[in-house]
């Protein structure tokens, strides 16, 4: 079975003990229920740590004995202090310019703040696993709810998610109507569902026919961590799905087998990449800006709900977010859209605000 240890980033740093990392991969996949792309991201974000250890001459052996000996070299009472010094130096190393030999991006550069935050999250997850296995000494900073790691994380630059307006979303979902054939009906149903339910592209790609109730207008999807939730699709999405499943899907299904809701031209399950291509294609036809993608529809779904007065916790539940903080970013978009609408519509907005800002 191929593993994420086969990736160049991990394979290039022999500091990572293969047996332990294989066990860690199984832990992420089975115990934590993470999807393969998420596990791959964990390993990509962990790879710099092994590179850092190599540069410090701390390349661990198979059972991390060298690493443990380094942490405990001044006695168990200094363990927390040694960990803190290590992480502090690691963050400094990540942010500093250093030689990178990776294609067009070769040269001197350091990690961006967001990358450092992800690297620390990956390190914390890995260290918790290693400590639970008694492969490294424990310390309070690695505890599940410890706030200690926040002291080492650089402040993230908040980027507001990209959204389209209600009018632009309408043009996008109606764009397939300009075409003929089963695929155009499928594409209309897909776009209506992505925008009408705020699904992740992975959730849409994983849908089977039995997961959708056209009578009730709901779909049962599995999000991050294999968490199931039911989401409404709205009248337009239900109508588009009914037309697709009755008039288009049967002809596509004849060319293949399987229970997938969205089928490709050969009758197989429509992949996430294909769905992304579909969104980009119709976004261009609808005259939307370049860079509109599947997640743009999810962001727009949440923002338009909040603009319409939906409660934040309801939007959180619909999106499948585990915490309200992940959803709160959309309130900033909603507020900025409200200000933009005011500036565009009120006859005295420019004059009064201009005086204040001057």
In this structure, the answer to whether residues 40 and 74 fall within a common structural domain is yes
Does residue 156 lie within any of the structural domains?
Answer: no
From 113, 224, 293, 332, the catalytic residue: 224
From 118, 186, 200, 249, the catalytic residue: 200
Does residue 183 lie within any of the structural domains?
Answer: yes
Residue 149's pLDDT band, with cuts at 50, 70 and 90, is confident
Residue after which a domain boundary falls, among 151, 178, 205 = 151
In this structure, the answer to whether residues 251 and 333 fall within a common structural domain is yes
In this structure, the answer to whether residues 15 and 45 fall within a common structural domain is yes
Q: What pTM did the predictor assign?
A: 0.61
Can you give the pLDDT at residue 188? 97
In this structure, the answer to whether residues 172 and 144 fall within a common structural domain is no
319: exposed, middle or buried (Cβ count in 10 Å: 0-12, 13-18, 19+): buried
Query: What is the number of domains present in the chain?
Result: 2
Can you give the pLDDT at residue 222? 86
- Res. 26: pLDDT tops 90: yes
In this structure, the answer to whether residues 171 and 223 fall within a common structural domain is yes
Domain that residue 84 falls in: 4-151
Is residue 200 part of the annotated active site? The answer reads: yes
- pLDDT tens, position by position, 303-330: 898 888 888 889 899 998 888 877 887 7
What is the CATH number for 206? 1.10.443.10
In this structure, the answer to whether residues 246 and 180 fall within a common structural domain is yes
Write down the H helix ranges in the chain.
8-11, 18-26, 36-55, 65-71, 79-95, 113-132, 166-174, 182-197, 201-205, 234-247, 249-253, 272-285, 294-307, 312-319, 325-345, 349-357
Residue after which a domain boundary falls, among 126, 151, 176 = 151
Does residue 351 lie within any of the structural domains?
Answer: no
In this structure, the answer to whether residues 139 and 186 fall within a common structural domain is no
Does residue 338 lie within any of the structural domains?
Answer: yes
- Res. 37: pLDDT tops 50: yes
Does residue 124 lie within any of the structural domains?
Answer: yes
Is residue 298 part of the annotated active site? The answer reads: yes
In this structure, the answer to whether residues 140 and 207 fall within a common structural domain is no
In this structure, the answer to whether residues 222 and 295 fall within a common structural domain is yes
Better pLDDT: 41 or 332: 41
Give every CB contact of residue 258 below 8 A, 6+ residues apart in sequence: 267, 268, 269
From 32, 171, 220, 295, the catalytic residue: 295
From 111, 186, 249, 298, the catalytic residue: 298
Does residue 321 lie within any of the structural domains?
Answer: yes
- pLDDT tens, position by position, 230-258: 999 888 999 999 999 999 999 888 876 67
Is residue 242 part of the annotated active site? The answer reads: no
In this structure, the answer to whether residues 183 and 128 fall within a common structural domain is no
In this structure, the answer to whether residues 80 and 207 fall within a common structural domain is no
Does residue 350 lie within any of the structural domains?
Answer: no
Can you give the pLDDT at residue 86? 92
Radius of gyration, alpha carbons of the chain: 25
Is residue 321 part of the annotated active site? The answer reads: yes
Residue after which a domain boundary falls, among 108, 127, 151 = 151
- pLDDT tens, position by position, 40-99: 999 999 989 988 888 877 765 455 777 888 888 888 788 999 999 999 999 999 988 876
Euclidean distance between CA atoms 329 and 313, whole angstroms: 13
Does residue 262 lie within any of the structural domains?
Answer: yes
In this structure, the answer to whether residues 250 and 299 fall within a common structural domain is yes
């Amino acid at each position: 079975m191929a593993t994420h240890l086969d990736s160049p980033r991990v394979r290039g740093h022999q500091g990572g003990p293969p047996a332990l990392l294989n066990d860690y991969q199984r832990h992420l996949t089975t115990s934590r229920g993470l999807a393969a792309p998420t596990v791959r991201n964990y390993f990509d974000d962990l790879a710099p740590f092994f590179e850092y250890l190599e540069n410090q001459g701390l390349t661990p052996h198979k059972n991390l004995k060298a690493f443990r000996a380094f942490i405990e070299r001044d006695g168990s009472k200094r363990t927390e202090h040694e960990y803190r010094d290590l992480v502090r130096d690691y963050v400094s190393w990540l942010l500093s310019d250093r030689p990178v030999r990776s294609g067009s991006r070769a040269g001197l550069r350091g990690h961006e703040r967001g990358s450092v935050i992800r690297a620390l999250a990956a390190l914390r997850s890995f260290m918790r696993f290693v400590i639970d296995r008694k492969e490294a000494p424990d310390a309070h900073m690695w505890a599940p709810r410890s706030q200690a790691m926040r002291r080492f994380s650089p402040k993230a630059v908040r980027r507001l998610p990209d959204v389209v307006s209600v009018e632009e979303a309408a043009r996008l979902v109606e764009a397939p109507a300009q075409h003929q054939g089963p695929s155009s009906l499928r594409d209309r149903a897909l776009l209506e569902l992505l925008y009408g339910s705020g699904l992740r592209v992975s959730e849409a790609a994983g849908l089977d026919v039995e997961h959708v109730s056209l009578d009730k207008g709901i779909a049962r999807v599995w999000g991050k961590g294999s968490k199931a939730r039911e989401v409404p699709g709205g009248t337009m999405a239900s109508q588009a799905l009914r037309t697709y499943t009755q008039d288009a899907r049967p002809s596509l299904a004849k060319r293949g087998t399987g229970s997938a809701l969205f089928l490709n031209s050969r009758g197989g399950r429509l992949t996430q990449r294909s769905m992304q291509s579909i969104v980009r294609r119709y976004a261009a036809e609808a005259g939307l800006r370049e860079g509109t993608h599947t997640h743009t529809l999810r962001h727009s779904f949440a923002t338009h709900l909040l603009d319409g007065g939906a409660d934040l916790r309801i939007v959180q539940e619909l999106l499948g977010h585990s915490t309200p903080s992940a959803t709160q970013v959309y309130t900033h978009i909603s507020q900025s859209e409200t200000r933009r609408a005011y500036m565009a519509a009120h006859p005295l907005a420019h004059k009064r605000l201009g005086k204040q800002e001057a």
